[in-house]
Amino acid sequence: METRKINIAIDGFSSCGKSTMAKQLAKKLNYTYVDSGAMYRAITLYFLRNHIDWTDITEVEEALKNISLYFKVNSQTGISEIHLNDENVEYVIRDLVIAEKVSEVAAIRQVREFAVKQQQEIGKQKGVIMDGRDIGTTVFPEAELKIFMTADIAVRVERRFKELYAKNPNVTIEEVKTNLEMRDYIDSNREFSPLRKADDAIIIDNTNLTPNEQLTKVLDLFKVALNKNISQ
Ligand code: CDP
Ligand code: CDP
């Protein structure tokens, strides 16, 4: 049986279904899922908790020395969860308070270098599905399959609002929309590894697709990418 594995890079705007697709695919293929955004969110949580002034690069560099991040699969859910200095922060980092600052923090060169180094280390073993903003362009420019996801902004806002509202009924649709638009803007316009579609990435617009429909689409693309890789 063919056991060769490939790396899969999934990039795109906020809340368009990247992690949903990456998780489904990882389960189906028995691959490792890595949520690169969780790393930037966890670093932001650390900065906020420790009152780090991230406009001061020396403070940022010192703070990064005290941050250790790793992913650990929850044996009950099978989902990989991020740990910040041994604390499971998978759920706290999803808060809007973090979402409001994460794009500023993720724009800092030193923060990106810190995260990308670890992401590339994980990717060496192959069989990794990573989602984010710069995976196909910077982290795994050699990934055998690259997907760039999009969906209409109204649909993305609605999807993210539902998630956040379930946890906190004080959240408004307006603040979710403002946050997604602000992050998409900062992420696309920052100096270091801005959000871009890699030239060889395949676009999936899932505005009208259910999670199952998007999985079928990506599985077809996976088969093509794997066969191409084997025959080379
Ligand atoms: O899930 P959602 O699309 O809301 O965001 P995320 O994937 O958790 O990423 C949170 C933030 O981290 C993004 O808005 C980016 O600012 C940053 N990020 C990044 O700069 N590069 C990545 N590879 C992943 C995330
Ligand atoms: O990772 P990203 O921020 O791109 O998005 P996500 O967290 O995977 O998806 C945001 C929300 O959209 C989740 O609640 C998904 O269940 C939902 N979703 C959906 O309704 N239909 C899809 N085709 C994909 C995601």
Q: Which residues line ligand 1 (CB under 6 A)?
A: 14-15, 19, 36-37, 40-41, 102-103, 106, 132-135, 183, 187
pLDDT at 3: 73
Find the 3 Cα to ligand 1 centroid distance in Å: 31
163 in contact with ligand 2, CB cutoff 6 A: yes
Closest residue by Cα to residue 48 from 69, 70, 63, 65: 63
Q: Which ligand is nearest to the CA of 130?
A: 1
110 within some domain:
yes
Q: How far is CA 50 from the centre of its chain?
A: 24
- Bridge partners, 202 (sequence order): 147
CB 192 within 8 A of CB 112: yes
CATH number at residue 91: 3.40.50.300
Q: Is residue 225 part of a domain?
A: no
CB 159 less than 6 A from any atom of ligand 2: yes
* Probe residue for ligand 2, chosen from 15, 23, 91 as the CB with the greatest number of ligand atoms within 8 Å: 15
pLDDT at 4: 87
Question: Domain total for the chain?
Answer: 1
At residue 140, the pLDDT reads 98
Strand partners, 69: 84
Determine the pLDDT at residue 46: 98
Element at 120 (helix H, strand E): helix 109-123
**Domain-embedded: residue 29:** yes
Q: From first to last of its 232 residues, what are the pLDDT tens digits of the chain?
A: 457 899 999 999 999 999 999 999 999 999 999 999 999 999 999 999 999 999 999 999 999 999 999 999 999 988 899 999 999 999 999 999 999 999 999 999 999 999 999 999 999 999 999 999 999 999 999 999 999 999 999 999 999 999 999 999 999 999 999 999 999 999 999 999 999 999 999 999 999 999 999 999 999 999 999 988 766 6
**Are 10 and 135 spatial neighbours (Cβ–Cβ below 8 Å)?**
yes
**CA 108/CA 190 separation, integer angstroms:** 9
Amino acid at 222: F
Question: Does a structural domain hold residue 159?
Answer: yes
Q: Quick check: 130 and 139 in contact, CB under 8 A?
A: yes
Q: How far is the CA of 33 from the centre of ligand 1 (A)?
A: 15
Q: Quick one: pLDDT at residue 228?
A: 86
ipTM (interface pTM): 0.98
Structural domain harbouring 120: 8-219
| pLDDT for residue 229 | 72
| Cα–ligand 2 centroid distance for 181 (angstroms) | 16
The ligand minimizing its distance to the Cα of 187 is 1
Q: Find out whether 75 is annotated in a ligand binding site.
A: no
What was the pLDDT predicted at 52? 98
Q: Which atom of ligand 1 is nearest to the CA of 105?
A: 16
Measured from the alpha carbon of residue 14, the closest ligand is 1
DSSP for 211-232, please give it. Answer: HHHHHHHHHHHHHHHHHHHHH-
The verdict on residue 157 lying in a domain is: yes
In a domain, 232, yes or no: no
Report if residue 231 sits inside a domain: no
Using the mean position of ligand 2's atoms as its centre, give its distance from the Cα of residue 102 in Å.
Answer: 19
Return the residue whose CA atom lies nearest to atom 2 of ligand 1.
14
Asked if residue 158 belongs to a domain, the reply is yes
- What is the residue with the minimal CA distance to atom 18 of ligand 2? 17
